[in-house]
Amino acid sequence: MNFISSMLQDLLNTLFSYTGDLGVSIVLITLLVKLILMPLSLKQKFAMRKQQDLVENMEHIKEKYKNNTKELEKQIQQHSAETMKSMLGCSTLLLQMPIVYALYNTFLNMPHNDRSVLIPWISSLNVCDNLFIIPCIYTLAMLAPNLIGLIPYFKASSKVAFNKHMVISTAIMSFILTAKTPVAIGLYFITSSIYSFVEDICFKIYIKQKNKLSFN
């Protein structure tokens, strides 16, 4: 873990020497790490998508073979094996955690005490935002994925109902998380959330187009 943190710190310093702006450097290194981890992230998304399909198939199997116990048990065994494989695919999130934690730790222990053109109202990236602009932006970035299902293009394919309580909880937790943390961490959270949102949109478009081609 210390090795990864040291490597990220060196990379951050290199980017800072080129950009001359610590805030821009934080955004760039966050995007770079996200791009490196993208294969794992996409693998996780495909696994979660498959998991959802398997849950739906299980309901269909139970209904189809409800009067044939022997065939039902056979189908459930086959389905369980596929479910285990899919769950292993979802575990790729754990492989990302050490790098994400090291990146967070790098920003938390930054020796620099600079301002950034990205947030001119802040005198130093090591202080919190007393105007609460950063927490508000992060909260909106975190709420964005919950609103994808409301977009007409995705609404037909969305099988998850809009959860008002989940949205409220997400908003409160997101605001609290960044209200008293250094602005550098807030920039990292915002960049990471926006990237994940864009990646999720692109993934949903790909799945929708794939399903359309399969249907045709």
CA-based torsion, 173, 177, 178, 184: positive or negative: negative
How many structural domains comprise the chain? 1
Span 79-129, pLDDT tens digits = 555 555 555 444 555 556 676 777 777 777 776 667 889 999 988 888 889
Alpha helices in 65-132 (DSSP H): 69-90, 92-108
84 contacts: CB under 8 Å, gap ≥ 6:
none
pLDDT digits (tens, 9 = 90+) for 24-81: 999 999 999 899 888 888 887 777 777 666 666 666 666 666 666 666 666 666 655 5
Comparing CA positions, the residue from 8, 27, 5, 58 lying closest to residue 141 is 27
Q: What is the pTM of this model?
A: 0.76
Cα angle vertex 98, ends 93, 100, to 5°?
75
> 127 is in which domain, residue-wise?
2-215
